[in-house]
Every structure is written in C-alpha cells, then in structure tokens.
C-alpha cells in the first residue's frame, strides 16, 4: 500500500457533505435558561434531549459541530463492551455490580436505537452481531472467561474454536477462539449526532455550534461573545480545561486510529463474513477492530502501544498503515484492497475506565459527565445526569460513577509521575487486576 493513497480526513465528515444539516450559529448575546449543557457529543445531546422532553428550557453549547469530537470520529460500534469486557466488570464489582454497570451500556444502546427508530434518523444503522476474537493463548483464555461469565449471569453467546470460526469469518490462522453475541449495531455516529440535533431543535433546545465555553462564573457559562445563565450546568466536554475545573485532573485519554476502504464487492463480503457482517475486535491490549458500513466499506481501527497514551494527536499515517498491514496479513485475499482515508482520535478515559457523573463538591449546580469510553456509556451518562436534575434523590448508579472513588495509583502520585504514566498504569490495573472495589470514598 502506498502512503499517498491514504488521505488524512475523517470519513464521517466526507459523508456529511451530502446531507442537509441545520445551521446553529455561534452565541452572541446573554441568555437565560433552566439548564445549559456544554458539549454536543453523545452525552450532551442525550442530556439535552431528556431535559427538553421533560419541559425544561435547555441551551446546548458546542465548540465544534454537534458530534464534532470523539463521537463523530468514532467507529460507530454500538456494543456494551467498550474498554471493559463483562468478566472484567464482574471481577471488579461482583455479579450484581458488574451487571449493573454492563446494563448502563445496554440501556445506552437501547436509547440510541429507539431514537433512530422513533425519529427515523438516517445514520446507516446496521444490526450486526459482535465477535470478540482471541489472539494467542491469552486471547483464547479471555474468550472462555467471557463465555463462562456470560452464561453465569444468563446472557446468551456462542463460542467458536479456531476451526469453527471459519464458518462465520474468513479462514485465518490469526485467531484461536471467538465469542459472538447479539444486541449490537453499527452507525454513522456523526450523522446520528447531526440528525439528533435536528430533533432537539424541533423540541425547542437552543443550540449554538462553534461556541466554546471559556469559563464559568457563578451560574453563568461564558463563551467568546455571549453567556448563558442557568440554574443547572452539565459539562459533557472532552479534554476539560484546568481553568474551568480541577476535575480535569481526573480525566486523560487514549489514542486510536481509524481508516476506511473502498467498497468491497459482494463476493468479497461473503468471503470475509460467510454468514453475514459482524462487528469484530480482538483481545490484544491495543486492539484492532473492524466492521462493514452499509455501503460495504471496511472500517478498520487500531493503535500502537507507543502512541496510545501520548498527550497529543499523532497524525502520521504510520500507525494505521501498520494496522492495515496486519489486517491484510490475516486476510490475504484483501491484500490489494485500497484504504482511502484515515483519522486519529483521542478517547477520554478515567483512571479505572468507568465514567464520571457527579456534582462539583463546591458548586453543586455543576454536574460533570466525563471519561465516557464508548457511545453507549456516553448516552447513558448524559441521560443519567439529566435524570438527576429531574429527580434530585436519584442515586442508583452513583456508587460507580462518583468522582471520589479509589484508584491503584492515587492522584497524589500523579503529581510526581505525570498523567501519562499514572493513567496508563491505572488503566491496565483496572482492566486486568482490580477486584472487589465497590465504595470506599476518599472524601467524607
């Protein structure tokens, strides 16, 4: 593959060029509302939707376009897994706690699919089952652990060994085992965000794009040329700035890359997925993932150990070229198939890979919805923050989502070792080691 053939451009932006999207000009005045939501990704859009449907006056500020950051860069897999598989959640929280956390993501998926169906959102919804692929002995073990966990809590799945895998995916020696289950989908996430924006506008939400929050003074969120005064403020932003809140310390990010191919022929699709398209990802720590879009393009993502935790975007094509080369080694019948565009993206994470939804301890009218690793989790968390405004006694998921939960590598140590080291160690620890950790708050 020649390097010139890959263009640094987000495919979802390319696909947006053919659609009519609503214009939401920047805020240039002082306005007042019940709740201002800052950030128009998956979390912010769903928070705004729920509040508007409950009759509140809602303003949404977005510094780019709605869906213009992680949401609109994502691969659009709607699965409950994100960075943590079910067995990892159950090891950490026990059966009831693990199921409760898992169900946040399944509720998020249900909410997205319901929106698509209720409002006829055109965003390339593809119902595709998930296939988690085990590489090497460790991967094989992870597949069997996942299967044992799923059956112990009554969730259906089908397990494949290396031989039977070729019934559902092109025969390759790369994978030792796989586990497949349903209830999962693929979408064009930027189209979803823009279509949902249209629904919100119809519900009376005032949306200002190209409007960055600069700071918060009391109950007022200031932007460059305007301001919004509100009883409640929900911050659903990525890459939170320290000048807005020191909670920025509790969020870092992991970097991944995506690429999109020319459309596959029908014969190639049948060869890759003999029984129909699947959402695939593998068991490596820095995993690769791929799926088919509605127009039969291959969406392929992955990263590298060296770039995952770097503080800034790496835009060089080298990382994705290595991911593509690896994919083609596994599926040599596609070795001449062209990938045309690629783009990097940074996913906000917390230290233990579970999101934060909590109120500021000193300014309780501000809620944070941060570090949502995955579209379904972001959807659930935006929704949950909105529900907490509508029902101040709601606490059902606070135990998992509060800011003040304990971590292996505490915040204090972060000051000496830096965020990159502290977060990468915490992330690995919480994914592979952390056990029985419900509760134990740091602050009274």
Ligand X SMILES: Cc1cc2nc3c(=O)[nH]c(=O)nc-3n(C[C@H](O)[C@H](O)[C@H](O)COP(=O)(O)OP(=O)(O)OC[C@H]3O[C@@H](n4cnc5c(N)ncnc54)[C@H](O)[C@@H]3O)c2cc1C
Contacts with ligand X by CB under 6 A lie at 38-44, 61-64, 68-71, 73-77, 82, 212-213, 236-238, 256, 258, 301, 345-347, 372-376, 378
Q: Is-contact 188 194, C-beta < 8 A?
A: no
Helices (H) and strands (E) in the chain, counts: 12, 20
Rounded-to-integer distance, Cα 148 and Cα 34, Å? 47
Rounded-to-integer distance, Cα 104 and Cα 223, Å? 32
Rounded-to-integer distance, Cα 190 and Cα 11, Å? 10
Rounded-to-integer distance, Cα 165 and Cα 143, Å? 13
Residue closer to ligand X, measured from CB, 71 or 140: 71
- In the complex, the smallest distance separating the C-beta of residue 46 from ligand X, rounded to whole angstroms, is 8
Burial of 36 (0-12, 13-18, 19+ CB in 10 A): buried
**β pairing state of 206-208 and 58-61:** parallel
Rounded-to-integer distance, Cα 438 and Cα 96, Å? 11
Residue closer to ligand X, measured from CB, 10 or 56: 10
- In the complex, the smallest distance separating the C-beta of residue 202 from ligand X, rounded to whole angstroms, is 20
- In the complex, the smallest distance separating the C-beta of residue 65 from ligand X, rounded to whole angstroms, is 8
- In the complex, the smallest distance separating the C-beta of residue 267 from ligand X, rounded to whole angstroms, is 27
Helix (H), strand (E) at residue 208? strand 206-208
Residue closer to ligand X, measured from CB, 176 or 281: 281
Residue closer to ligand X, measured from CB, 67 or 176: 67
Residue closer to ligand X, measured from CB, 38 or 168: 38
- In the complex, the smallest distance separating the C-beta of residue 194 from ligand X, rounded to whole angstroms, is 12
Helix (H), strand (E) at residue 199? helix 189-202
Residue closer to ligand X, measured from CB, 44 or 178: 44
Show Cβ contacts of residue 403 under 8 Å, excluding neighbours closer than 6 positions.
247, 250, 356, 358, 361, 368
- In the complex, the smallest distance separating the C-beta of residue 173 from ligand X, rounded to whole angstroms, is 26
Residue closer to ligand X, measured from CB, 24 or 347: 347
Which tokens belong to 166? 């070729």
Residue closer to ligand X, measured from CB, 157 or 223: 223
Crossing angle, helix 42-53 and helix 86-118, to 10 degrees? 60
- In the complex, the smallest distance separating the C-beta of residue 39 from ligand X, rounded to whole angstroms, is 3
Show Cβ contacts of residue 402 under 8 Å, excluding neighbours closer than 6 positions.
356, 358, 441
For 318, which DSSP code?
H
Q: Which residue is nearest to ligand X (CB)?
A: 41
- In the complex, the smallest distance separating the C-beta of residue 31 from ligand X, rounded to whole angstroms, is 15
DSSP string, 76-138: -EE-S-TTS-HHHHHHHHHHHHHHHHHHHHHHHHHHHHHHHHHTT--S--EE-EEEEEE-HHH
Q: Is-contact 125 185, C-beta < 8 A?
A: yes
Residue closer to ligand X, measured from CB, 232 or 238: 238
Residue closer to ligand X, measured from CB, 40 or 176: 40
Residue closer to ligand X, measured from CB, 257 or 407: 257
Burial of 226 (0-12, 13-18, 19+ CB in 10 A): middle
- In the complex, the smallest distance separating the C-beta of residue 216 from ligand X, rounded to whole angstroms, is 10
- In the complex, the smallest distance separating the C-beta of residue 84 from ligand X, rounded to whole angstroms, is 12
- In the complex, the smallest distance separating the C-beta of residue 373 from ligand X, rounded to whole angstroms, is 5
Write the CA distances from 355 to 29, 79, 98, 400, integer angstroms.
Answer: 33, 16, 14, 8
């Amino acid at each position: 593959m020649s390097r010139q053939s890959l263009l640094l451009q987000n495919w979802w932006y390319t696909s947006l060029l053919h659609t009519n999207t609503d214009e939401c000009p920047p805020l240039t005045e002082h306005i007042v509302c019940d709740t201002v939501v800052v950030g128009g990704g998956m979390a912010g859009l769903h928070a705004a939707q729920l509040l508007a449907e409950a009759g509140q006056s809602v303003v949404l500020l977005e510094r780019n376009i709605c869906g213009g950051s992680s949401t609109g860069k994502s691969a659009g897999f709607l699965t409950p897994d994100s960075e943590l598989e079910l067995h990892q959640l159950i090891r950490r929280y026990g059966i009831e706690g693990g199921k409760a956390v898992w169900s946040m993501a399944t509720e998020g998926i249900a909410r997205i699919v319901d929106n698509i169906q209720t409002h006829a959102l055109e965003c390339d919804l593809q119902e595709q089952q998930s296939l988690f692929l085990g590489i090497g002995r460790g991967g094989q073990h992870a597949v069997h652990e996942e299967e044992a966990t799923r059956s112990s809590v009554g969730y259906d799945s089908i397990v494949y060994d290396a031989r039977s895998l070729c019934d559902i995916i092109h025969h390759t020696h790369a994978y030792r085992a796989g586990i497949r289950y349903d209830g999962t989908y693929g979408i064009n996430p930027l189209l979803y965000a823009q279509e949902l924006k249209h629904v919100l506008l119809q519900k009376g939400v005032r949306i200002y794009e190209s409007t960055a929050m600069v700071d918060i003074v009391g109950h007022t969120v200031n932007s460059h040329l305007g301001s919004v005064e509100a009883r409640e403020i929900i911050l659903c932003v990525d890459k939170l700035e320290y000048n807005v809140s020191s909670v920025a310390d509790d969020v870092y990010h992991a970097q991944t890359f995506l690429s999109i191919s020319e459309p596959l022929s029908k014969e190639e699709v049948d060869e890759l997925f003999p029984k129909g398209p699947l959402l695939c990802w593998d068991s490596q720590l820095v995993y690769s993932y791929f799926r088919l879009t509605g127009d039969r393009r291959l969406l392929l993502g992955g990263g590298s150990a060296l770039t995952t935790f770097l503080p800034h975007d790496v835009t060089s094509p080298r990382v994705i070229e290595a991911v593509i080369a690896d994919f083609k080694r596994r599926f040599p019948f596609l070795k001449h198939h062209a990938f045309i565009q690629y783009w990097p993206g940074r996913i906000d994470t917390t230290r233990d890979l579970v999101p934060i939804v909590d109120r500021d301890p000193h300014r309780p009218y501000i809620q944070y919805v941060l570090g949502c690793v995955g579209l379904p989790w972001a959807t659930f968390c935006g929704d949950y923050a909105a529900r907490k405004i509508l029902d101040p006694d709601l606490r059902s998921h606070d135990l998992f989502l509060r800011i003040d939960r304990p971590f292996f590598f505490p915040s204090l140590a972060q000051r000496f070792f830096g965020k990159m080291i502290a977060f990468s160690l915490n992330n690995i620890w919480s994914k592979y080691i952390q056990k029985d950790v419900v509760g134990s708050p740091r602050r009274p």
